[in-house]
Structure 1
Amino acid sequence: MRWKLGGGVTAIAMLGAVTGSATDSGVAQRAAWRATYAAPATIPFPDENPYSRAKAVLGRKLFFDPILSADRDRACVTCHLPDLAWADGRRRAPTRADSDTDLRTPTLLNLAWQEGRLGWDGKFRDLESVAFVPISAPGNMGLPVEDAVARLSADAAYVAAFKEAYADPGVTKARIEAALATFQRLIVSGASPFDRWIAGDEAAIPVAAKRGFDLFNGRANCAACHGGWAFTDGSFHDIGTAVGADLGRGRFVTNSQVLRYAFKTPGLREVAGRGAYMHDGSIAALEAVIDLYDRGGIDRPSRSPEIRPLNLSADEKADLLAFLRTLNSEPGTGPALADLTEAAPRP
Structure 2
Amino acid sequence: MAVMLTRRRSLQLAGAALAAPALLRGARADTWPSKPIKAIVTLSAGSTIDIVARMSLDPLSRLIGQNIIVENRPGAGGTIAGAAVARAEPDGYTVLINSSMHSATPVVYPKLGYDVARDLSAVAALGSSPNVIVVRPASGYKTLADFVAAAKTKPGGFTFGTAGVGSATHVSTERFRYAAGFPGVHVPFRGMPEALVEVMTGRVDFSCSSIASALTFVRDGSLVALAVTTPKRCSALPNVPTTTELGFANSDYTFWTGMFVPSKTPREIVDKMNAETRKAMLTPGLAEKLAQEGVDPMPIGAAEFDALIKTEIAATQALVKATNINFY
For the aligned pair, the TM-score class normalised by the smaller chain equals under 0.3
More helix by percentage: 2
| TM-score normalised by the chain length of structure 1 | 0.23
Which protein has greater RCO, CA pairs closer than 8 Å, 6+ apart?
2
More strand by percentage: 2
Larger Rg, first or second structure (1 or 2): 2
| TM-score normalised by the chain length of structure 2 | 0.24
